[in-house]
Chain A
Amino acid sequence: MRTGTQARKYRLQGAGLDLALPYLMLAPGLTIVLGVLVYPLWDGLRASTRAYRYGSPVADVGLQNYLHLWSDAQFLNALWVTVKFVALSVSFEAVLGFALALFCLHEFRGIRLLRTVLIIPMVITPVVVAIVFRLIYASDAGMLTALSKATGGGEVQILGNPLNAFIGLVALDVWEWTPLMFLILLAGLQSLPHEPFEAARVDGAGAWRVFADLTFPMMRPVLAVAIVLRTIDAFGTFDQVFVLTRGGPGEATRLISIYGYDTAFKFQQTGYAAALFVTIGLVVLALAFSAIRLLRRVDAS
């Protein structure tokens, strides 16, 4: 026994400050999330069940807005254009990004500089990228036209031709977002253990077999995450299209985001636009979940 009068203090776990501290620390973050995420979401959901005139709600229409979407030819077209755009851009970005990452994995002189340069497009503001591409594509004084004229051709129609405008948009997206793929995949490649690769070389595998039997299977989870991220992001592409083509010519590059913007702000159909975006949100969410489910299944088998 100790002689002092001081009783030893025993502290309990999960009592007193221990109990309150997590909530105290969560409070500021939670407030912000409630304010800027949850409330707008709820407000949007409410708006999607109403009809608007001159910017103010005039009637509750229930799920009318949602049902109407599926008989709206413009919406269906925008959806189709978006799906085409996302599928094309993301697959190009994945293939290109993977190839670049594999290339940049090797150590040689100037590799650091090369890696840095490759990331630049990603850090430029999207609107600026779009303006630059508009200058490149312009049919009168654009870079492509200048090039074509220098080699004896005529004016190059990009933004005026439906197919070319769509391809031009995909090219812009690929240019801007391949670096993100590249970065994620490079980090993934660098974190792979390298003994298995040495073992495969000794076991007799050539470069292609090493890629097909080791690199690709080991990279599949990272690749899937990168693709899901980019897909979600690409569904929301807006600023580049807005600056580059505003959805034209005709409806060739009118993505769902542009159509939604037009309905909300040009045609003032706030409720209908809200229903549209909620639907797209659900579609993207479903896509992401099924991708992750698929990934888990592959991983577990």
Chain B
Amino acid sequence: MGSVVFKNVVKNFGALNVLRSLDLTVPDHKFLALLGPSGCGKTTALRILAGLDMPTAGKVFIGERDVTRLQPRDRDIAMVFQSYALYPQMTVADNIGYPLWIRGTSEAGRKAKIGEVAAILEIGHLLDRRPRQLSGGQRQRVALARAIVRDPAAFLMDEPLSNLDARLRLTMRGEIKRLCQRLSATTIYVTHDQVEALTMADLVAVMQGGELQQMAPPIEIYDRPANRFVATFVGNPPMNILPAALCEQGVTVATGIVPVDQTRLAACRLAEIVEIGLRPEDCSVAPPGEAGVLQGEIYVVEPMGNETLVNVRLEGGNVQVRAGRDFRGVVGESIGVAFDPANACFFNSGGLTAVHRVNNNGRVK
């Protein structure tokens, strides 16, 4: 078992700078979700950790051991590849059992282990097939099985659920989480699905353009995003961002003035904030014309079954609002958006969060 540390890791592909000085520490036994948009360098970071690519500069440690120049097989890791990387000429059972076979596990021990993980991943009926006779989702589960069949120091998983259907993804999400907790191995789980990241991980690291934006527990990532990018990338629908200006009593947003208490206002002033961020669930629809309510008109209404998403057009841009399931509204109707400024956060001109929401637990609605 071991912690995983990236120390100033830089990776260039020729002139292309993919990782700019990545610093990341995953404590022992923790489940880290590496979250970021496509092409931000997640797979690259994972491949460097696995030893398949050498970093241009910097060091990688697994459990105190400097593994930067070590062969992959001496790093004691198991990896799920984004492209599955199954062994084409072996059966599914042989694929899953290969890491054990290499380590000289007995035939009986191997069989038992293969059966066990195949049952977890619901692929027990496929053991005699070959990879090319499987669907994408089945291949992905075989790749996952091949990783979890072992008991390594660290699991590296590169979008292991990306190809599964919605139901299977939900079950597998739970199974992987349970399994990693049971094996208590350090896990790095790459995903661009923020729901997966928030639900599964102990820690979420958000990356963009080869740089780490923020690393924190899921709740903190959600409630106290370090910057505008994290704020809009995490959360579905994403956080609403509106231009904001400071005035005497508070902050001017769209056409309305939002009262903000004095200490926060002072902080806002000091940081010269330019934008306000509001989560959709912190907003509510209100009759237009009330005091402290932003004026707008309904742009789109999306009933979700358990709630209704209302997109309201305001002066400075559109805002998503989570309304009750019985919300009825007509496009073009004028409507108000209400919120408690204590739940809002403010960004400065550099895109950093200057003033966070007041309370990050008990949400005020």
User: A residues engaging B (CB < 8 A)?
Assistant: 193, 195-196, 198-206, 209, 213-214, 217-218
B73 touches A195 (CB 8 A): no
B146 touches A196 (CB 8 A): no
Contacts of A198 in B (CB 8 A): 52, 72, 81, 85
The 13 listed contacts between A and B (C-beta, < 8 Å) are A195-B84, A195-B85, A198-B72, A198-B85, A199-B86, A202-B73, A202-B77, A202-B78, A202-B79, A213-B87, A213-B90, A213-B98, A218-B88
B102 touches A203 (CB 8 A): yes
Contacts of B98 in A (CB 8 A): 200, 203, 205, 213
What's the Cα separation between A206 and B74 when bound, in Å?
Answer: 10
Q: B249: CB under 8 A from chain A?
A: no
What's the Cα separation between A199 and B131 when bound, in Å?
Answer: 14
Contacts of B78 in A (CB 8 A): 202-203
A195 touches B103 (CB 8 A): no
Closest chain B residue, CB of each to CB of A209? B102
B87 touches A196 (CB 8 A): yes
Contacts of A218 in B (CB 8 A): 88-89
A203 touches B99 (CB 8 A): yes
Contacts of A193 in B (CB 8 A): 85, 88
Say which residue of A201, A213, A214, A217 sits within 8 Å of B73 (CB atoms).
A201
What's the Cα separation between A56 and B196 when bound, in Å?
Answer: 87
Contacts of B102 in A (CB 8 A): 203-205, 209
B73 touches A206 (CB 8 A): yes
Nearest-neighbour CB distance to chain A for B55, whole angstroms, equals 16
B52 touches A204 (CB 8 A): no
A204 touches B99 (CB 8 A): yes
B72 touches A201 (CB 8 A): yes
A200 touches B50 (CB 8 A): no
Q: B38: CB under 8 A from chain A?
A: no
Which 4 A/B pairs are nearest by Cβ-Cβ distance? A195-B85, A199-B85, A203-B99, A201-B72
Q: B359: CB under 8 A from chain A?
A: no
A199 touches B87 (CB 8 A): yes
B85 touches A196 (CB 8 A): yes
What's the Cα separation between A214 and B86 when bound, in Å?
Answer: 11
Nearest-neighbour CB distance to chain A for B175, whole angstroms, equals 21
- Chain B positions 48-107 with a Cβ under 8 Å from a chain A Cβ: 50-52, 71-73, 77-79, 81, 83-90, 98-99, 102-103
What's the Cα separation between A200 and B51 when bound, in Å?
Answer: 12
6 additional A-B pairs beyond A195-B83, A201-B52, beta carbons within 8 Å, are A198-B52, A201-B73, A204-B102, A204-B103, A205-B98, A218-B89
A202 touches B52 (CB 8 A): yes
Nearest-neighbour CB distance to chain B for A178, whole angstroms, equals 26
A200 touches B103 (CB 8 A): no
B77 touches A214 (CB 8 A): no
What's the Cα separation between A193 and B132 when bound, in Å?
Answer: 13
Nearest-neighbour CB distance to chain A for B53, whole angstroms, equals 10
Contacts of B52 in A (CB 8 A): 198, 201-202
What's the Cα separation between A200 and B146 when bound, in Å?
Answer: 11
A204 touches B73 (CB 8 A): yes
Contacts of A199 in B (CB 8 A): 79, 81, 85-87, 146
B146 touches A203 (CB 8 A): yes
Task: Find the residue from A200, A202, A206, A209 having the highest chain B CB count within 10 A.
Answer: A202
Nearest-neighbour CB distance to chain B for A237, whole angstroms, equals 34
Contacts of A209 in B (CB 8 A): 102
What's the Cα separation between A213 and B101 when bound, in Å?
Answer: 11
Contacts of A201 in B (CB 8 A): 51-52, 71-73
What's the Cα separation between A209 and B81 when bound, in Å?
Answer: 20
Contacts of A214 in B (CB 8 A): 87, 89
Nearest-neighbour CB distance to chain B for A222, whole angstroms, equals 13
Nearest-neighbour CB distance to chain A for B276, whole angstroms, equals 46
Contacts of B83 in A (CB 8 A): 195
Nearest-neighbour CB distance to chain B for A300, whole angstroms, equals 10
What's the Cα separation between A193 and B89 when bound, in Å?
Answer: 12
Closest chain B residue, CB of each to CB of A214? B87
What's the Cα separation between A213 and B91 when bound, in Å?
Answer: 12
What's the Cα separation between A198 and B86 when bound, in Å?
Answer: 10
Closest chain B residue, CB of each to CB of A221? B89
What's the Cα separation between A218 and B83 when bound, in Å?
Answer: 18
What's the Cα separation between A199 and B78 when bound, in Å?
Answer: 9
B73 touches A196 (CB 8 A): no
A205 touches B87 (CB 8 A): no
Say which residue of B72, B84, B87, B88 sits within 8 Å of A202 (CB atoms).
B72
A196 touches B50 (CB 8 A): no
What's the Cα separation between A196 and B78 when bound, in Å?
Answer: 14
Nearest-neighbour CB distance to chain B for A211, whole angstroms, equals 13
Contacts of B146 in A (CB 8 A): 199, 203
A205 touches B79 (CB 8 A): no
Contacts of B90 in A (CB 8 A): 213, 217
Nearest-neighbour CB distance to chain A for B87, whole angstroms, equals 5
What's the Cα separation between A201 and B71 when bound, in Å?
Answer: 8
Closest chain A residue, CB of each to CB of B47? A198
Nearest-neighbour CB distance to chain A for B141, whole angstroms, equals 15
What's the Cα separation between A175 and B86 when bound, in Å?
Answer: 38
Closest chain A residue, CB of each to CB of B52? A198
Contacts of A195 in B (CB 8 A): 81, 83-85
A196 touches B77 (CB 8 A): no
Contacts of B51 in A (CB 8 A): 201-202
Task: Find the residue from B83, B89, B102 having the highest chain A CB count within 10 A.
Answer: B89
Closest chain A residue, CB of each to CB of B84? A195
Interface mask (B25-65 → A, CB under 8 Å = 1, otherwise 0): 00000000000000000000000001110000000000000
Nearest-neighbour CB distance to chain A for B60, whole angstroms, equals 14
B89 touches A217 (CB 8 A): yes
Nearest-neighbour CB distance to chain A for B189, whole angstroms, equals 16
Contacts of B99 in A (CB 8 A): 203-204
What's the Cα separation between A193 and B139 when bound, in Å?
Answer: 16
Nearest-neighbour CB distance to chain A for B69, whole angstroms, equals 14
| A195-B81, A198-B81, A199-B79 known; A205+B73 contact, CB < 8 A | yes
What's the Cα separation between A206 and B99 when bound, in Å?
Answer: 12
